[in-house]
Structure 1
Amino acid sequence: MTLWDWVVRAYSADGVAETCLELQDSAGQNVPLLLWAAWTAATGRDLDADARADACDMARAWDDSAVAPLRAVRRALKARIPDLEDAAREAIRAQVKAVELDAERRLLAALEALTRAESGPPRSMLDAMVAVARVWSPKTPRPGLMRLAERLPA
């Protein structure tokens, strides 16, 4: 199963979307990166420290230049704007949201390209996400990662 297909299935599981948004907004985590780490574990792909570091570098560069600015615009368009019809604002917001999603999908494709082929049995998704989260930021949100691991499909 491709990473994108796995992420779409995982994101639709009960409570995953909410937990991902909490990890993103409250803990500063990169959701595509976390889901990539979980996918590698679920599909028996091995990640060494260099692979995690390369993935975090790539995700940080893409997040800073594409995803975060798009997210900021989308969120700014959530509020009403004086003298602009709500329908016009919402139409632009929907377009920005689609581009933001496409940017995240392209990050996932780049992360998948960094990944080795399956090499063994499934591993702990929690351990994989914790390892990546430690490289991503100085604080590891273990409780949130535990909630996410519990909700993700095997």
Structure 2
Amino acid sequence: MSLWDWARTTYAADGVADACLELQAAAGQNVPLLLWAAWCAAEGRNPDEDALEAAGDTARAWQETAIAPLRAVRQALKSRAPDLDDEAREAVRAQVKAVELEAERHLLAALEALAPASSGPARPALAAMVAAARVWSPITPRAGLVQLADRLPA
């Protein structure tokens, strides 16, 4: 299954979206990178240190160039503003959200291209997500990652 399809299915599972958003908001993690790591584990792919570093670099480039600026615009449009029609503001916000999702889809495609071929059976997602989280940030939000791992579909 492609990473995009897996991520969409996984994100829709009970509690996964909330766990991802908590890791993003409270711990500053990159959700596509974490989902890539969990997908690699589920697919029996085992990225080495170089692949993890490349994935982190790719995620950071997309985050800084596209995703973070789009997210900032979307969040700014969440608040009502004087002299702006709420319906028009919400319509633009929805368009920005769609573009932000498209940027994340492209990031997932770039990450999928960096994944090694499957080399064995599926393995637990937690260790893979911890490794990805460490590439992203010096502080590993272990409790949040455990919560996400517990909510991932089997």
Q: TM-score interval w.r.t. the shorter chain? A: over 0.9
Does the alignment pair 1:44 with 2:27?
A: no
Supply the distance in 2 between the matched residues of 1:135 and 1:116 (Cα, whole angstroms).
17
What are the superposed Cα offsets for residues 41-98 of structure 1, whole Å, 9 maximum, x if unpaired? 0110011111000000010011001000000000000000110110000000000000
In the alignment, the residues of structure 2 paired with residue 116 and residue 50 of structure 1 have an alpha-carbon distance, to the nearest angstrom, of 11
Q: Which residue of 2 aligns with 1:15?
A: 15
- Give TM-score, length-normalised by structure 1: 0.99
5+ residue gaps, structure 1, are none
Structure 2, gaps ≥5 residues long: none
Runs (4+) off by over 2 Å:
none
Match of 1:32 in 2: 32
Per-residue deviation, residues 87-112 of structure 1 (Å, max 9, x unmatched):
00000000000000000000000000
SS in structure 1 of the partner of residue 107 of structure 2: helix
Write the distance in 1 (CA, Å) between the matches of 2:26 and 2:133. 14
Q: CA RMSD in A?
A: 0.5
Identity %: 71
2:130 pairs with 1:130: yes
Alignment correspondent of 1:84? 84
**For residues 51 and 143 of structure 1, what CA distance do their matches in structure 2 show?**
25
- Residue 28 of structure 1: how far off its partner (Å): 0.4
Give TM-score scaled by structure 2 length: 0.99
The answer to whether residue 68 in structure 2 is matched with residue 68 in structure 1 is yes
Letter in 1 for 2:43: T
Aligned residues: 154
DSSP-derived class of the 2:53 partner: helix
CA distance in 2, matches of 1:134, 1:81: 39
